[in-house]
Chain A
């Protein structure tokens, strides 16, 4: 680990630390919301460690809390996590072979990929990937554990606005991705489709139906260049 500190410049380490702190805080809200929604305390911690992809875990918890089936919840979560395939294709070899590849793959997330790609030489990219990936692998389930304990202490979580926190955290997670006008339009259209379908379909399915919003640019003839 000392090689990580020697390889990375101070500002990069500081930014990674901030990213991990932010992830810890989101993990705190995740653990609290999950327990407040009726999940056992172990659940957000174990899922946090095993899945290690925040948005999909919020999605999983949200769909089941709304009465959806774990199968729908898992499929929706997988859909959100499919972006890790192109991440792996875009990254240079940051892990090395053997057990490092197997462990390193699990540490791939939005933050570790961004920090790895932002470094200007391969050694620094590798160090940033591992530092950020390991930091988040500790902070995400750790935050979830703290949140699960706090959430369990509150008798009526809704009185503290925990239920209102849920959509707010989801919004905070996706705001960086809404930079483009097309993404914003698709997100709004998806939200409208889901709201319109929600009274008629079992929980979870309206979210998958929202994907129809991705077809809108095609209908207008704005085909993505192959």
Chain B
């Protein structure tokens, strides 16, 4: 397992970046028009990464001889 401080740094990066995403949409609302296809692309990207995670953890663990 990764050492505690490195783990905490990764978590800090994820939480700070996620908060920036959450805040930025509302602040940009008045200024930019985010096209629907771009929103769909971001949602599809999230689904693809998660599907890849589910597939690799499920199938590669089955292939492991424990």
A-side interface residues toward B, CB under 8 Å? 38-40, 43, 46-47, 50-53, 55-60, 62-64, 66, 69-71, 73-74, 76-91, 93, 95, 101-102, 105-106, 108, 158, 163-164, 166-167, 170-171, 173-174, 177-178, 182-183, 186-195, 198, 206-208, 210-211, 213-214, 224-226
Binary flags per residue of B25-44, CB closer than 8 Å to A gives 1, else 0: 11111001011011111111
Q: Check if B49 sits within 8 Å of A74, measured CB to CB.
A: no
Give Cα A21 to B17, complex, Å: 27
B-side interface residues toward A, CB under 8 Å? 1-2, 4, 6-7, 9-15, 17-19, 21-29, 32, 34-35, 37-61, 66
Given A46-B11, A170-B54, does the pair A195, B60 have CB atoms closer than 8 Å?
yes
Across-interface contacts of B41 in A (CB, < 8 A): 214, 224
Across-interface contacts of B52 in A (CB, < 8 A): 190-191, 193-194, 206-207, 210
Q: Check if A51 sits within 8 Å of B15, measured CB to CB.
A: yes
A50 to chain B, nearest CB (A): 4
Across-interface contacts of B51 in A (CB, < 8 A): 170-171, 174, 187-188, 190-191, 210
Across-interface contacts of A158 in B (CB, < 8 A): 66
Which of A63, A158, A173, A213: most chain B CB closer than 10 A? A213
Q: Check if A88 sits within 8 Å of B54, measured CB to CB.
A: no
Q: Check if A43 sits within 8 Å of B49, measured CB to CB.
A: no
Interface of A (DSSP majority class) = helix
20 A-B pairs within 8 Å (CB atoms) are namely A47-B11, A59-B49, A60-B11, A71-B10, A73-B14, A76-B49, A79-B49, A80-B49, A85-B34, A91-B25, A101-B26, A105-B23, A166-B57, A170-B50, A178-B47, A183-B43, A190-B48, A190-B52, A214-B48, A224-B41
